[in-house]
């Protein structure tokens, strides 16, 4: 009889140890796109078409100077380099509570209703893990309703912990405000049990569309979550990135009673161009925040204290507020350039309802294409322009591509000119 170790060593591969949930896991879509671009770069450069990445969901400008200067000063403070606490230092939690009050008029208790995060992506993934009991059988899985098209990490992070994401479609027809009751009816028709729904996610201003939600929609979704006794997860990573003349996006916590069931995820990444710093926060329902903080206590030891200091500084800094306004003006200007360019190429810009927030542009593919992946592949290979196919964000994204308008103006103009030269018209 062979020993366990002999049996293992004959055909052993670490892959055989992967969990049922991880074994089929794909590399995150944005990293797959980056890898493809790296592969094609030498041949594109040889053709005089160095890749222009319209695919990056991150600002390309530097963070506010005042913030960087403050951060550097913090580096020499006593005990700054020691471990922090997973939930975040008191000075940061207090600064967040003050900001929630000044920006949204919402009162939150910094010691029970806020936790810092290593970026909102980490917080969202841990929130899913906290409420999903892993199951193999798809019909038996805990369900989270997710925006479709929506931030690709939702689906991946739900499914890798043995949950099921069920799409709530955002379309031009529903003004990008999905009817949640219709989604439950569709889920039932698909043979799934609505009693298994544990949470619903909303994300406004939205990635990839840049859509905003009126306050009444927030009220409706709170009512929906109350009727179903589920957690309401609001992702407001882009809450500060809105254009002049547009109503400032709301917090779900402004809805009376929302704290009974809602938790909101905020990010420092996009408004302050701090994507690499990895800092965000969750705020709202004390049980949701509490379980997140408890989970984080077993998985990470908190954020570098100098980063927390800089984040607290940003929240209370008029220079940083002015920086956000300037960036938003730049994104609005970039959008104008691209809309004018795509209009010249035949795109029906008037019918598109262009975003009034974020730095994204959600564009239909030309009429002679039926697949957004084929269109994106052709544009990359023939024009060296990197787009994200709409299906990267869910099935409802077929027929569209996402562009991030974070590039310098000469690159934006170059994109339009390459489209024209290579015959990519609507």
Ligand X SMILES: Cc1ncc(COP(=O)(O)O)c(C=O)c1O
Judged by the rule CB under 6 A, the positions of this chain that interact with ligand X are 57, 119-121, 151, 203, 207, 235, 237, 267, 269, 275, 280
Nearest to ligand X of 151, 176 (CB atom): 151
Nearest to ligand X of 251, 269 (CB atom): 269
* CB 59 to ligand X: min, Å: 11
Burial 267-301 (b: 16+ CB within 10 A, else e): bbbbbbbbbebbbbbbbbbeebbebbbebbeeeee
Distance, in Å, from the CA atom of 398 to the CA atom of 33, rounded to the nearest integer, reads 17
CA distances from 146 to 228, 335, 423 (A): 15, 27, 36
Distance, in Å, from the CA atom of 339 to the CA atom of 343, rounded to the nearest integer, reads 6
Distance, in Å, from the CA atom of 23 to the CA atom of 96, rounded to the nearest integer, reads 39
Nearest to ligand X of 49, 403 (CB atom): 403
CA distances from 165 to 82, 134, 249, 323 (A): 39, 13, 26, 37
Nearest to ligand X of 89, 235 (CB atom): 235
* Strand runs labelled E in 63-141: 114-117
Distance, in Å, from the CA atom of 113 to the CA atom of 291, rounded to the nearest integer, reads 11
* CB 16 to ligand X: min, Å: 32
DSSP at 220: H
* CB 265 to ligand X: min, Å: 7
* CB 29 to ligand X: min, Å: 11
Nearest to ligand X of 150, 163 (CB atom): 150
Nearest to ligand X of 119, 384 (CB atom): 119
Report the run of H or E that residue 362 belongs to, with start and end.
strand 360-364
Nearest to ligand X of 84, 269 (CB atom): 269
Query: Is the N-terminal amide bond of 208 cis, ω within 30° of 0?
Result: yes
Closest Cα to residue 405, out of 387, 392, 423, 426? Answer: 387
* CB 157 to ligand X: min, Å: 11
Query: Is the N-terminal amide bond of 46 cis, ω within 30° of 0?
Result: no
Residue showing tokens 């407001």: 236
* CB 346 to ligand X: min, Å: 29
* CB 307 to ligand X: min, Å: 13
Nearest to ligand X of 151, 313 (CB atom): 151
Backbone phi, psi, residue 267, to 5°: -135, 145
* CB 332 to ligand X: min, Å: 19
Nearest to ligand X of 84, 203 (CB atom): 203
Nearest to ligand X of 218, 347 (CB atom): 218
* CB 109 to ligand X: min, Å: 23
Q: Crossing angle, helix 409-421 and helix 318-344, to 10 degrees?
A: 20
* CB 278 to ligand X: min, Å: 7
CA atoms within 13 A on the CB side of 12: 8
In SS3 terms, 261-325 reads as CEEEEEECCCCCCCHHHCCEEEEECHHHHHHHHHHHHHHCCCCCHHHHHHHHHHHCCHHHHHHHH
Which position's Cβ is nearest ligand X?
119
């Amino acid at each position: 009889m062979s020993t366990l170790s002999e049996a293992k060593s004959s055909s052993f591969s670490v892959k055989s140890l992967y969990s049922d949930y991880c074994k089929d896991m794909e590399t995150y879509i944005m990293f797959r796109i980056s890898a493809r671009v790296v592969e094609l770069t030498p041949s594109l450069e040889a053709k005089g078409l160095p890749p222009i990445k319209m695919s990056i969901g991150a600002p390309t400008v530097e963070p506010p100077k005042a913030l960087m200067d403050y951060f550097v000063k913090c580096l020499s403070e006593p005990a700054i380099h020691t471990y922090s606490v997973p939930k975040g230092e008191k000075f940061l939690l207090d600064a967040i509570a003050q900001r929630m009050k000044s920006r949204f008029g919402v009162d939150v208790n910094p010691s029970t209703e806020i936790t810092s995060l290593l970026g909102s992506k980490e917080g969202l993934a841990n929130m899913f893990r906290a409420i999903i009991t892993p199951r193999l059988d798809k019909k038996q899985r805990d369900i989270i309703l997710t925006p479709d098209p929506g931030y690709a990490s939702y689906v991946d992070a739900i499914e890798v912990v043995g949950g099921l994401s069920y799409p709530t479609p955002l379309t031009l027809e529903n003004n990008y405000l999905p009817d949640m009751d219709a989604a439950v009816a569709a889920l039932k028709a698909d043979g799934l049990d609505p009693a298994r729904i544990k949470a619903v996610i909303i994300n406004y201003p939205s990635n990839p569309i840049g859509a905003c939600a009126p306050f009444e929609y927030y009220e409706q979704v709170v009512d929906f979550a109350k009727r179903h006794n589920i957690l309401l997860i609001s992702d407001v990573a882009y809450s500060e990135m809105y254009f002049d003349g547009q109503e400032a996006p709301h917090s779900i916590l402004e809805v009376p009673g929302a704290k009974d069931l809602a938790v909101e995820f905020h990010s420092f990444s996009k408004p302050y161009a701090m994507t690499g710093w990895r800092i965000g926060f969750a705020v709202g329902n004390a049980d949701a925040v509490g379980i997140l903080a408890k989970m984080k206590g077993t998985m990470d030891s908190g954020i570098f204290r100098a980063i927390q200091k800089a984040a607290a500084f940003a929240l209370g800094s008029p220079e940083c507020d002015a920086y956000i306004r300037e960036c938003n003006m730049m994104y609005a200007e970039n959008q104008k350039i691209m809309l004018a360019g795509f209009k010249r190429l035949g795109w029906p810009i008037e019918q598109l309802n262009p975003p009034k927030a974020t730095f994204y542009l959600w564009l239909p593919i030309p009429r002679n294409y039926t697949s957004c992946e084929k269109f994106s592949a052709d544009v990359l290979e023939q024009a060296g322009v990197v787009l994200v196919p709409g299906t990267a964000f869910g099935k409802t994204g077929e027929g569209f591509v996402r562009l991030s308008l974070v590039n310098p103006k000469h690159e934006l103009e170059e994109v339009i000119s390459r489209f024209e030269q290579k015959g990519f018209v609507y």
